[in-house]
Structure 1
Amino acid sequence: MTSPIAYKILVIDDHPETLNIIQRVLQQQGYNVLGARSGFRGLSLADSESPDLIMVDGMMPEMDGWEVCRRVRGTPKLADIPIIMFTAVDEAEQKLAGFDAGADDYLTKPTEPDELLERVRMILEDRTPKAAAETRLHEPLPEKKKPKPRESGGRVTNTISFPNSGSVTAVLGARGGAGATTLAINLAYSLATAGRDTTLVDLDLIQGHIALYLSQKHENGLNHVLTQPESRWREALPAEMSKYSEHLDLLLTHAQLASEPLPLRPEQTLSLLQPLIKPGHHLVIDCGHQLTDVVESVLSQANQIIVCLRPERVALANARLLLEHLHEIAPPETAVRAIIFDFSGLMAIPHESLEKFLNHPLTAILPVSPTEMNQAVNKSIPLVQLNPQAKTSLLIRQIAQQLIKA
């Protein structure tokens, strides 16, 4: 993280004492802090000062914090600025209203200084300070490679379909870091340990997260298949599979961050995956978080679609839109599930309120301990293998049993 002195934070609160306390706490950590005692003044400062973060009180006269959020998100120049809303109202509906208006996080007053600073740090952690970015405006830009023209794909017209035998579960993230890869790995492992023959497929041809997560050294996989003539893909597929356990096979991709992604059309994807669907066999596909034509082709043939999200504004808003879209494109017999990953342990929004916001039932809320998550990643094993009796492991195994019975 860049030194906090480079970050500019705008605090908007109509109570002078609260405003002074928050400013002082942030300034003691070296942040450049601006203060405003009304929503109108705050919007004016946001426009002129371009802060890296806005912190706004929800309950203010004339213009409340929710309206400030909406106006910030509705102004192109300001729309990408993260917002933390704080208020004395600790009600789920108010929090969801804040997320809906555009807040990225929500704090209930009174807030301990340590918690406030931790939330600020987490929001700013992956962002480059605007002041630092502006110093590089006149530096020469690196030469860009001319992009290759994209091959037109369009939606699949069901000329190719998966066989009815076997089970296909597609796991999709509402955004990056929502837990899709974690769930896909742990579901596949749980199915395999239940004695079900399972294949786990990574459809992310750029990131290759499953291979990284499980420290698989197999250098070929799906990437290598796609470099061969299409007529040989099915023949080449068995040699590119990795054996993880007695009942679990992996079809991996490996990170290609510096390369052009290999072209893959929707109908090619379905044709390639068809041989993996066998009677009594489970196919779990990590679809990443981008709803491409290739991903939509897989979703159109899946028995189960699982959307993963986190309890924060962007993921909740994306998930609501994604779930609406899935109900439009998924076959009537396809089960669409929503699962929340709570990596912080701080989620205080009731189950029912989240379902109302998403307009969709929740299959589960998975509380994932950051310590256990780090241990699993460092040991290159699934969470359910690290601690089989943890609440998260038990919930994932229950979901796997639901897939077996479906």
Structure 2
Amino acid sequence: MAEKILIVDDDLDSLKLIGLMLQRHGYEVVAASAGNQAIMKAQSELPDLIILDVMMPDMNGYEVCRRLKMDSSTEDIPIIMFTAKTLIDDKVAGFEAGADDYLTKPTHPQELASRVKAILQRRANKGNRNTARRGTTIGVVGAKGGIGTTTIALNLAATLREFNMNPIVADFRLGMGSLGLALGMGRSTGMANLLKRPALEINSSIIEQEIVVHPSGLRALLSSSRAKEGLINIPTDTALAIVREMRMIGKPSVFDLGCGYTPLLSRLQSEMDTLVMVVDPAGVTLAMAREMLQEIGRTDRERVYLVVVNRVQVSQQPPWHEVEHILGQDIRAIISPAPDLAFQAMEAATPLVYYQPNAVVSSQLIKMGEEIKARIEKS
């Protein structure tokens, strides 16, 4: 895939010339002609490099650079400041704002191409060194409500902890925090506290302040069951910043994304290294799941891990191969019905796999965890 470069300049002729030159070198080019537009493009496109003019009418390049470096989603994108200003003080101001390099106009196309190549290579090398330190992300979503999505998310995280990993389970379902209730922490409002903040303020240390620890040692970022919390609008840019920052502290991070194809799922699905979709074999659920999979798209469907939760006796349900045919997706795990055991585990405020690890349903959940752990290690 071609590396993406965002060019920011209010001079349309410069935009065209630089854009054509970079395209000839095989780069994908995105353009912006104003400071605010540049910030929005950087946040939505997440380019590999930004070439940023200093002199613009609405917001100068120094301020754009500072704001991008304060945003956790764009802080690692290298920036080349590009301007007609030649004074040393101007270059110093650019570097103090966070620029990685500084070029003065006019510049020879070969020099610009050389600087671009060098910075992108440094970024690639840095990325390779950081990969081992980044945790993976696992989203858990139900085709509809009431089929055990939260139970799957909680017990997946609990199982991964037993495999000597250090997961965090996080609940994006404001006002419907059954995950917190299942852990005996139903009043925790950590997720809501974070989602009230602008995306620029989200960082790993702020997230860690909102994380609670279950007596088992499992870490959790929770929503409460307070109805009023459900009135909070979830800003997707803040949610995106939370997910990206949690890669640095959750090894891995497991997110309960609720049910259905919501604006939140639409925004976050590409951030999930694995997307666990929970269904039951009922016709209505399968029809909803099929629609969801179509919206998720072919590319992201490669990361889908399909889990079927049986809620009634198998004889009353379609065979597994029929479910796979309906959804066009392989079933990765089948979970047996165990309502009494699930109730007892919730009353004990303990994940089911800890409450009765030798039960059939626990064995199935543990096997699911083993497979997802293998996917993490393979990636």
Normalising by structure 2, what TM-score? 0.60
SS in 2 for 1:172: strand
Aligned equivalents of 1:381, 1:308: Cα separation in 2: 21
Off by >6 Å, runs of 4+ in structure 1: none
Aligned equivalents of 2:320, 2:186: Cα separation in 1: 40
Aligned equivalents of 1:274, 1:232: Cα separation in 2: 13
CA offsets, 1:192-221, max 9 Å, x none?
Answer: 111100010101113112112222055331
Task: Give 1:206's aligned amino acid.
Answer: G
Q: Does 1:311 align with 2:198?
A: no
Q: Does 1:191 align with 2:160?
A: yes
CA offsets, 1:119-146, max 9 Å, x none?
Answer: xxxxxxxxxxxxxxxxxxxxxxxxxxxx
Query: 2:174 touches 2:230 (CA, 8 Å); kept in 1?
Result: no
Query: 2:195 touches 2:239 (CA, 8 Å); kept in 1?
Result: no
Q: Does 1:266 align with 2:236?
A: yes
Query: 1:243 touches 1:249 (CA, 8 Å); kept in 2?
Result: yes
Aligned equivalents of 1:251, 1:280: Cα separation in 2: 11
Query: 1:174 touches 1:309 (CA, 8 Å); kept in 2?
Result: yes
Q: Does 1:345 align with 2:232?
A: no
Aligned equivalents of 1:382, 1:246: Cα separation in 2: 9
CA offsets, 1:165-188, max 9 Å, x none?
Answer: 321110000000121101000000
Aligned equivalent of 1:335:
303
SS in 1 for 2:214: strand
Q: Does 1:294 align with 2:245?
A: no
Aligned equivalent of 1:178:
147
CA offsets, 1:102-133, max 9 Å, x none?
Answer: xxxxxxxxxxxxxxxxxxxxxxxxxxxxxxxx
Aligned equivalents of 1:280, 1:292: Cα separation in 2: 24
Deviation at 1:388, TM superposition (A): 0.8
Aligned equivalents of 1:207, 1:279: Cα separation in 2: 25
Deviation at 1:329, TM superposition (A): 6.0
Aligned equivalent of 1:372:
341
CA offsets, 1:323-365, max 9 Å, x none?
Answer: 22223462x7x52121111122344422112111222111122
Q: Does 1:391 align with 2:278?
A: no
Query: 1:222 touches 1:252 (CA, 8 Å); kept in 2?
Result: yes
Match 1:203 to one of 151, 161, 172: 172
Aligned equivalent of 1:83:
none
Deviation at 1:247, TM superposition (A): 5.2
Task: Give 1:341's aligned amino acid.
Answer: V
Task: Give 2:141's aligned amino acid.
Answer: L
Match 1:360 to one of 325, 329, 332: 329
The 1:312/1:281 distance shift into structure 2, 3 A limit, reads: same
Deviation at 1:258, TM superposition (A): 3.6
Match 1:276 to one of 238, 241, 246: 246
Identity of aligned residues (%): 22
Aligned equivalents of 1:247, 1:327: Cα separation in 2: 36
SS in 2 for 1:219: coil
Aligned equivalent of 1:37:
none
Query: 1:341 touches 1:365 (CA, 8 Å); kept in 2?
Result: yes
The 1:286/1:364 distance shift into structure 2, 3 A limit, reads: same
Aligned equivalents of 1:198, 1:362: Cα separation in 2: 24
Structure 1 unaligned spans of 5+: 1-152
Query: 1:196 touches 1:280 (CA, 8 Å); kept in 2?
Result: no
Aligned equivalent of 1:242:
212
Deviation at 1:404, TM superposition (A): 1.6
Q: Does 1:321 align with 2:309?
A: no
SS in 2 for 1:288: strand
Deviation at 1:244, TM superposition (A): 1.8
Superposed counterparts of 1:95-174, under 5 Å: 157-159=44-46, 160=73, 165-174=134-143
Superposed counterparts of 1:66-105, under 5 Å: none
CA offsets, 1:45-96, max 9 Å, x none?
Answer: xxxxxxxxxxxxxxxxxxxxxxxxxxxxxxxxxxxxxxxxxxxxxxxxxxxx
Larger displacement relative to structure 2 (361-370 or 220-229): 220-229
Task: Give 1:387's aligned amino acid.
Answer: Q
Deviation at 1:265, TM superposition (A): 2.3
Superposed CA RMSD:
2.7
Task: Give 1:180's aligned amino acid.
Answer: T
Aligned equivalent of 1:214:
183
Deviation at 1:228, TM superposition (A): 4.6
Task: Give 2:218's aligned amino acid.
Answer: L
Task: Give 1:303's aligned amino acid.
Answer: D
The 1:394/1:260 distance shift into structure 2, 3 A limit, reads: closer
Query: 1:345 touches 1:369 (CA, 8 Å); kept in 2?
Result: no
Query: 1:344 touches 1:369 (CA, 8 Å); kept in 2?
Result: no
The 1:192/1:396 distance shift into structure 2, 3 A limit, reads: same
The 1:296/1:245 distance shift into structure 2, 3 A limit, reads: farther
Q: Does 1:225 align with 2:225?
A: no
